[in-house]
Amino acid sequence: MAEEKQNLLQLYRFCFLMLADAAEAQEVFHATLREAAQLAAGSEAPRNRLWFFRNARWRCLEAGEQGLQAEAVDLKQDELAESAPSQIEKLEPQQFAIWISGAPEPQRTALALFYLDEFNYRELLSVTELKPPELSKLLCDGRRQFQAWLDATLPRTET
């Protein structure tokens, strides 16, 4: 029961990271659960938890196409700094979600799943439908871009 609750929380968090809008995330989350319930009623229950994330991903992508689009900004990119954890602590969850939701697809999905810290590499590959080198590049680039965004949003303080 606790594991199922955790899976549902992570599914909602995934939707929120993908969309950066609580109402839209709730809508996608509930639509995904309704579809799973309908399938289960027809003896076609989803096979595993990854089904929920794949289904929610496509719903988020569809909803995201209708929402605000991110503006392209060119920032100097660095590896994650030692100060990154202290910078991240100062962020509001909404800021982080806005940053992830602004990434181009499939990087957005890869980052949202990666930062949930819930999936192993094989599961990330399965949900994102990417090849290992593609996923690795998207995550590495995303982490560098995230550090650049952190530095622009919350400049590092030298100690």
- Structure confidence by residue, pLDDT tens digits, 99-130: 899 889 999 999 999 989 889 999 999 999 99
Asked if the bond preceding 106 is cis, omega within 30° of 0, the reply is: yes
Amino acid (one-letter) located at 122: R
Around 153, how many Cα atoms within 13 Å sit in the side-chain half-sphere?
19
Residues 44 and 7 in one domain: yes
Residues 141 and 99 in one domain: yes
How many whole angstroms separate alpha carbon 66 and alpha carbon 101?
13
Taking alpha carbons only, the member of 93, 77, 122 closest to residue 17 is 93
Residues 138 and 90 in one domain: yes
Q: Is 77 a domain residue?
A: no
Over residues 23-73, the pLDDT tens digits come to 999 999 999 999 999 999 988 878 788 999 999 999 999 987 765 444 444
Residues 9 and 61 in one domain: yes
Residues 88 and 149 in one domain: yes
Q: Is 75 a domain residue?
A: no
Residues 52 and 90 in one domain: no
Domain of residue 132: give its range.
Answer: 84-153
- Asked whether 55 and 97 are in contact (CB, 8 A), the reply is no
